[in-house]
Amino acid sequence: MPAEARVSAEIALVELEGAGQRVSAEIVLVEYGALAAYATSMLVLVELQPPSDCKPSGGYTYNGVDITAYCNLADLQLAPRELQRRTLGDTAQGHKVGLSDASMRLGGDWNAAIDALLGADARAGRRRTGEAYFDDCSMVVRYAWSEVFIAEWKVTSPASGKMQWSATLRHNGLGVRSVELS
Amino acid sequence: MAWTRVYQLTAEHRVLTDLDNQGGATQQPTISSAQAHAGTYSYLLNGQPVAFGITIPTPRSRVRVGYWLRHGGLGNERVGYLYLAAVSKTQYEGANIGIRIDGVNGNIEVVRPVSGTTNAYETLYAVAIPSSLSLIDTWLHIGVYHFADELNGVLRLYVNGALLVNWNGDTRLYGQGSGTPVFSTAPSYVWVAGAYLGSGNNLDASTYVDDFYIETSTDESAASIPARSWDAMTPNGAGTNAEWTPLASTNVSNIDDNPNDGDTTYNKALATALKDNFAFTNVIVPSDHTIVAMIPTIFVKRLDTATDVQVRLLAYDGLTYKNGADQVPALDYSLPLFERMTTQPDTTAWNETDANAAEFGYESRGTYA
């Protein structure tokens, strides 16, 4: 039996009768097992990332469409409400944190494609999905919401200069924040 | 959720036991030291045709694959095939959707089985092979996305980070042999294959594959596929703990063999909570590269069918242990266990100095009595 073996046993009683005699016997079944682990070889892999020409960037995916190419501005604001917490007896101001308000400020050069995506939805008051992402070339942080609507849509058309668009997106719910390697 | 690394394949282990060759190909790759993208070894594809398959643990509907390819010419060859399958079918039996670099036609092609017809493929999309992919004897990073969760799915091919194919359409996988689409089935198998189309000839002897990885997700979007490569460190000295029982000699001398020598030398654990950790050879990080993760790997087996016998991998910085998940070793040494550690025990990012100073090892876990 190997040193690392475990043993389990079963005992069976067999009785035989015949010719006025009675014989009994015990049969012992022994099961060998080995609760052991053998380690034969080890290696450590060093996972390397080559240099890249990645530039830190942010962007936004609206209703499943990545509109980053239309943007030169992508500001995410997560603003928890500040609630006053004081009694008449307090001698100093006190605050507590309330529910968070998540909004996204986007903007860029106007064209018909971005107008079809955002302008049309702003006019109709549609609710969509939205995801903001920020990439520093090592990690990507994503904020995703199942419901977003356009609180403000603005197109400026100056006499001298480019036509610009800007939008404020309001998100409902906490959303999901995730982090992954870039 | 983020992309999850489910497997990486490296020739540095110098074994083929973690590959599957039931694809009908005449032969598997071999381990070669003639070329390596990183480390010392790579897989040499030399045969007619040659293929290997890999099971995807914990299949999910979205898969991305990255690997390095080095070919000696595309004139008469189809290299860099990559098929995703719902079952471990062969690449010839019409079970998969795939993307391939077809030097015969001069195209990169998206191909899919012809419904109901075995061994017949239809080309869904083709684009001329660009000059960047025609470079011979040059390591090229190949990245493939496959989203199987929708009729308007995505199949993408990146070469050296450049998007060459962005095909949108029905990426459903096909049922085994039936040619019937299987909606929302997560691929559980990846085939990599190459073939020479001329008769009586082999693939160019200088076609190599190295540093292969598979990541899965349920909801990630398709962005560029990170290029990764793996150098290797081998044990070369005793560490802080030597609690497993050496078959002979010292603990480190029993596990420093590469390729693994099976039961010729090993350390054994007969109780839980026993640690072995070791010093390793130093790595030199190439200029401008960063260490994304340290991945201790071990060829370990359990002797009993009971799954109570478990092992976890660990890193030790002299103060703190970083412990991997408890894993159940197989009953043989065919597949290595691994733990991908993206941070040091003190939770900071890895760097060359700390990686070289760290000890790595393993610990017996679970129940041994």
What are the pLDDT digits (tens) for B287-301?
889 999 999 999 999
Q: So what's the pLDDT on residue A114?
A: 93
Q: Whole-number mean pLDDT of chain A?
A: 83
Rg (CA), chain B: 21
Q: CB A46 to CB B10 under 8 A?
A: no
Closest partner residue to A51 (CB to CB) among B289, B292, B304 is B289
pTM: 0.72
Q: So what's the pLDDT on residue B303?
A: 92
Closest partner residue to A51 (CB to CB) among B256, B257, B288 is B288
pLDDT > 90? residue B271: yes
Answer whether B224's CB lies under 8 Å from B143's CB. yes
pLDDT > 60? residue B22: no
What's the rounded mean pLDDT across residues B240-244?
97
Q: So what's the pLDDT on residue A132?
A: 93
The tokens of B147 are what? 């989203």
Q: Provide the 10 A C-beta neighbour count for residue B116.
A: 12
Tens digit of each residue's pLDDT (9 = 90 or more) over B316-355:
999 999 999 999 999 999 999 999 999 999 999 999 999 9
Q: So what's the pLDDT on residue B313?
A: 98
User: CB of B121 within 8 Å of any CB in chain A?
Assistant: no
- Which residue pairs, CB below 8 angstroms and at least 24 apart, start in B282-289? B282/B233, B282/B356, B283/A46, B283/B231, B283/B233, B283/B352, B283/B355, B283/B356, B284/B352, B285/A46, B285/A48, B285/B351, B285/B352, B285/B355, B286/A48, B286/A50, B288/A50, B288/A51, B289/A48, B289/A49, B289/A50, B289/A51
- Alpha-carbon distance B278 to B49, whole Å? 42
What residues of chain B, 31 to 60, have a C-beta less than 8 Å from chain A? 38
Interface of A with B (CB under 8 A): 3-4, 6, 33-52, 61, 66, 131, 138, 140, 178-182
Q: CB B340 to CB A36 under 8 A?
A: no
Q: What percent of chain B has pLDDT over 70?
A: 81
pLDDT > 60? residue B14: yes
Q: What is the DSSP string of B35-92?
A: --SSSS-EEEE-SSSEEEEEE-SS--SEEEEEEEEE-S--TTEEEEEEEEESSS--TT
Among A138-147, B49-58, B72-81, B330-339, the range of highest mean pLDDT: B330-339
Residue B327 three-state SS: strand
Nearest CA among A78, A130, A132 for reference residue A101: A78
* Contacts A38 to B, Cβ<8 Å: 263, 266-268, 300-301, 303
Positive or negative CA dihedral for A35, B258, B315, A181?
A: negative
Q: So what's the pLDDT on residue B87?
A: 58
Q: So what's the pLDDT on residue B55?
A: 81
Answer whether A23's CB lies under 8 Å from A16's CB. yes
Nearest chain A residue to B365 by CA distance is: A37
DSSP code at position A93: -
How many beta-carbon contacts under 8 Å exist across A and B?
191
pLDDT > 70? residue A13: no
